[in-house]
Amino acid sequence: MRRTLILAAALLAAVAACGSPSSGGGTSALKIMAPAAPGGGWDTTSRTAEQAFKSADPNLKVEVYNVPGAGGTIGLTQLVGEKGNGNLLMTMGLVMVGAIEQNKSQVTLAETTPIAKLTEEYEIVVVPANSPFQNLQDLATAWKTDPAKVAVAGGSAGGTDHILAGLMAKAAGVDPKLVNYIAHSGGGEALNSLLGGKVAIGISGIGEFAEHVKSGKLRALGVSSPARLDSIDAPTLKEGGLDVELANWRGFVAPGGLDDAAKKSLIDLVTKMHDSAAWKDAVAKNGWIDVFETGQSFADYVKSEETRVKGIIAEMGLVS
């Protein structure tokens, strides 16, 4: 009898191990961390992915939760503490690469497991509907006159929005260090500052401001793409006289400490999500660019971005 109980316990343990992604199996429950406040690009990406995961596998339980602050580095710290957890993904991207450098974070993306690059998205520069700025040259003139009076709303310090503001100022002949940049923890907060008249201009991903441009609450001064986009009626920054292009990107990383089987399980799960009609429809609707790549290719890309962004923000004096 005792031998039978021991064998039964061993069998249950083996079954449990097979059900854990960290041991090489699949998962029936997945958590996605959006390391920012609700309403921003990471939150939107996370919740869009949640629905696509469920569409691709109706039996999969998916939960999205927010950990805002410090350009995602607070969430990154939590993720690093989940070493070996194969049921967790964190949405991240170019913003986090800059924030790690800007905030001199004690944890880095080297302590994570890169899973997949998902999308790219161009930035948009907007003003409230009643703004005196009619075009980018009006903005450039105001910057040259007194940059302190031109408050710019965007995401976290050192992130994509901040980098674009600095590049635009530099192109306008203004010292990027003089830009009055007001960092927000999410696109929703930046939008509230814009609509509340607390800032002069806003910078974010096109998807976060597009519906408010179309409704007339905001006006678009320009987009950071190399050519005009079908999804929004706005000139490029180059057309407006500022020779700047920049694309934001977003992807998934998992905690460190995963074995090869667990890593493959998550990559396969994300690939299935990416291939779903629900995801492809959402990418088109949000005006995102599909740049899917996984595993080592994505890991190499992250390393190259860390080097590139470090140079940019150092040149602009954004590192204290």
**Mean pLDDT on 101-126:** 96
pLDDT at 44 over 80: yes
Smallest CA-to-CA distance from 213 within 237, 189, 238, 194 is with 194
Query: What's the whole-model pTM score?
Result: 0.82
Residue count of the chain: 320
| Burial of 55 (C-beta count, 10 Å sphere; 0-12/13-18/19+) | middle
Note the pLDDT tens digit of each residue in 67-103: 999 999 999 999 999 999 999 999 999 999 999 998 8
Note the pLDDT tens digit of each residue in 181-208: 999 876 778 899 999 999 999 999 998 8
If you average pLDDT over every residue of the chain, what do you get?
Answer: 90
Q: Which residue has the higher pLDDT, 247 or 22?
A: 247
pLDDT at 33 over 70: yes
Smallest CA-to-CA distance from 40 within 245, 207, 274 is with 207
Q: Residue 18: its pLDDT value, please?
A: 37
How many Cβ atoms sit within 10 Å of the Cβ of residue 145? 10
Which amino acid appears at position 126 of this protein? V
How would you classify the pairing of strands 112-128 and 201-205? antiparallel
- Kindly give the residue spans of alpha helices, DSSP state H, lying in the chain: 2-18, 41-56, 73-80, 94-102, 136-145, 160-171, 187-195, 206-215, 260-274, 277-286, 295-315
pLDDT at 22 over 80: no
Measured distance CA(232)–CA(286) in Å, rounded: 11
2-121+249-315 and 122-247, same CATH topology = yes
User: Do the beta carbons of residue 105 and residue 73 sit within 8 Å?
Assistant: yes
Is the CATH code 3.40.190.150 the one for domain 2-121+249-315? Answer: yes
Is the CATH code 3.40.190.10 the one for domain 122-247? Answer: yes
Measured distance CA(76)–CA(84) in Å, rounded: 15
Q: Residue 186: its pLDDT value, please?
A: 67
pLDDT at 45 over 50: yes
Annotated domain spans of the chain:
2-121+249-315, 122-247
Q: Residue 320: its pLDDT value, please?
A: 56
